Amino acid sequence: MENNLKKNVIWNTIGVTLNSFNSLFFLIIINRINGIDDGGIFSFAFSLACLLFVIGIYAGRTYQVSDIRDELNDSEYLVHKFLTCAIMMVVCLMYILFKQYSVEKNIIIITLSLYKCLEAFSDTLYGYMQKKDKLYLCGISQTVKSLISIIAFFLVDLLTKNLILSCVSLVIINLLVIIFFDRPVSNKAMYKEIIKMSRVFNLFKRGFTVFAFSFLAIYIVNVPKYTIDGLMNNSFQTIFNIIVMPATVISLCGQYIMGPILTELVDVYNKKDYFKFKSLIYKIIKIIVLFGFVVEIGAWLLGIPVLSLVYAIDLAAYRYDLMIIILGAIFYALANVFSTGLITMRKNNMQLVIYVSSAIIGWVLSNLLIRKLGIDGAMYAYFGTMLWHGLLYTFYFGYEYKKMSQ
């Protein structure tokens, strides 16, 4: 275990980071080669594909890796993944039939959903590797996919200026890496056993809470994008996505900080050292707030000039919007920290209520404010949703901790 620890941490961090910022590079390429309207189509399609991706992974790799009681065997997890990926693509097709977009937009949505579907399939293969303490192989796979995908996307788009062909290149790269790397490597870590479909279907029930959390988490972050799609043109979709992109940095910061401390957090909770448990939570909170404050200053001084330069769009009118988005992202990162603490305390049911309420608030704010204020309304809706979400988690964690420590 210890021999692979360093490799696991380094490669997993590189892979996850590159994978998280893929869409940023794709959007830069599209804006500079195809223009702001194509950028808007891609941004929406990618956001929708990320939401559908949650159906593809369903309970996710965490459930698979933590299955120490062998509720499902390796073969059954693979069959379950085939089912969830199929459901994901069926939902995608039903959605575009309902919305009746242009042929080009439909094809881009299908292609990017297929790209994320293959990513969801890889997640189960990564699970086999991780259970054998070979998480570094997952990181290498993600790194290779990300780098080659960016290069291929750029070259295809540069040569053809065709967004559909560029998106198709992403599917091809993902498929090739699965065939020539993920599958052969995972085969060595996978045990092929008898498949019982009753156990496979039962995972849908057992993993529903995790799925609901993940789905709503993606939805509340992206709900202004879905509303913009129905009310405004593609250029505004691009602008919103550019302004909201720095918020990803805040979220990643929270993940990086929480990762190394998570084991200690679980340990002190199991030892009933509740004071230290709370101290660890608030230590992470302080780091995120401090980091967010630094990002706010940097965004005020350099954010808009840098974003305008990188994306080749004049964003001077959106400086205050950028400040609001980053502040909202800080509240969302804080909510995620409190959520981790509550999951450790096994307090999940009320969290689902919080997510549902945040999704409703996000939908209401987005529809009201975007109709009245346009793109500025999208920024305010994002901030309002994140503020609501963060405050609910703050109060709920305080309530549960007070009960626990009495």
Instruction: Determine the straight-line distance between the first and last CA of the chain, rounded to whole angstroms.
Output: 38
At residue 97, the pLDDT reads 93
At residue 66, the pLDDT reads 66
Site of tokens 């993920």:
182
Low-confidence ranges of the chain (pLDDT < 50): 1-2
Site of tokens 């959390």:
213
Cα–Cα dist 97/88, whole Å: 15
Cα–Cα dist 315/318, whole Å: 6
Residues 53 and 246: beta-carbon distance below 8 Å = no
At residue 3, the pLDDT reads 63
At residue 7, the pLDDT reads 83
> In terms of DSSP H, where are the helices of 318-374?
319-344, 349-373
Stated length of the chain: 406
At residue 142, the pLDDT reads 92
Nearest residue to 324 (alpha-carbon basis) of 373, 252, 376, 253: 376
- Say how many C-beta atoms besides its own lie within 10 A of residue 298's C-beta: 14
At residue 269, the pLDDT reads 78
Query: Which tokens hold the place of 169?
Result: 């290149």
Nearest residue to 340 (alpha-carbon basis) of 405, 402, 271, 283: 283
Query: Which tokens hold the place of 182?
Result: 């993920």
At residue 259, the pLDDT reads 60
At residue 146, the pLDDT reads 94
Site of tokens 């709503």:
216
Around 101, how many Cα atoms within 13 Å sit in the side-chain half-sphere?
A: 20
At residue 368, the pLDDT reads 95
